[in-house]
Amino acid sequence: MIKDFLPRTFFQVHPLECARALLGCELVWNGCGGLIVETESYAVFNDEACHTFSRPAARAFVEKNRAGTVYVYLNYGVHWLINVLVKGGPEDGIILIRALEPIRGIAEMEKRRGTNDPRALCSGPGKLTQALGITGADHERDFCSGKQIGFLPRRRPMEVVADTRIGIRRAAEFPWRFLEHESAFVSVKPGKGKAMPATRRKNKQGQTE
């Protein structure tokens, strides 16, 4: 049982500052966890890649919840992705946790992931939710009042690099992805992100045009 999780005030700052500050902190989830080595910041306003831009439900989530609240959604119908709400500072935002360096509950994470390769356990946003057992049922949980889930302060110094965000089509040029320099546990190394195609559509026969 851990009691010294990061307080709510940690998430009441500028989202870009928070996304950087989270690197090197430990994400703890029901006995499993790892050092955060990759995050992405999304801004509630003026960021077309943020869910709040096109989803009324996401805007309602920001209105309704406090800083430090879990935001979980299903992406591509396959993977749960976990974010934390940043609110009450100069701007509101949502920070995606993209990769961890596994350090706690590794046997359990290996079992959920079906691999013993430490680099394959949490090196992506969908991988880490699978490793930690995170699903849509965890949406709107609180990182700052629970004793099962939360963040621990940075354990060691971390050299932070900024790069463009991964997998998005809109506002793809914002350098709002933050990683540990030369970490072996990130999803995509700096500068290696593939550009998303401008459009991809399918006709009635289900064939890509």
Residues at the site binding DNA, with contacts judged by CB under 7 A: 40, 42, 49-51, 54-58, 73-79, 81, 83, 94, 96, 113, 120, 123-127, 136, 165-170, 187, 199-202, 204, 208
The contacts of residue 4 (CB under 8 Å, 6+ apart) are: 152, 153
**Smallest separation, CB 15 to DNA (Å):** 11
Q: Which two tokens stand for residue 206?
A: 């289900």
Looking at the chain, list the stretches that DSSP marks H as alpha helix, in order from N- to C-terminal side.
Answer: 15-21, 51-54, 56-64, 106-113, 118-121, 125-132
Judged by CB, which is closer to DNA: 98, or 161?
98
**Smallest separation, CB 129 to DNA (Å):** 8
The residues facing 121 across adjacent strands are: none
Q: How far is the C-alpha of 170 from the C-alpha of 93, rounded, in Å? A: 16
Judged by CB, which is closer to DNA: 82, or 158?
82
**Smallest separation, CB 53 to DNA (Å):** 9
Q: Which two tokens stand for residue 142?
A: 């609180």
Judged by CB, which is closer to DNA: 7, or 126?
126
Judged by CB, which is closer to DNA: 66, or 112?
112
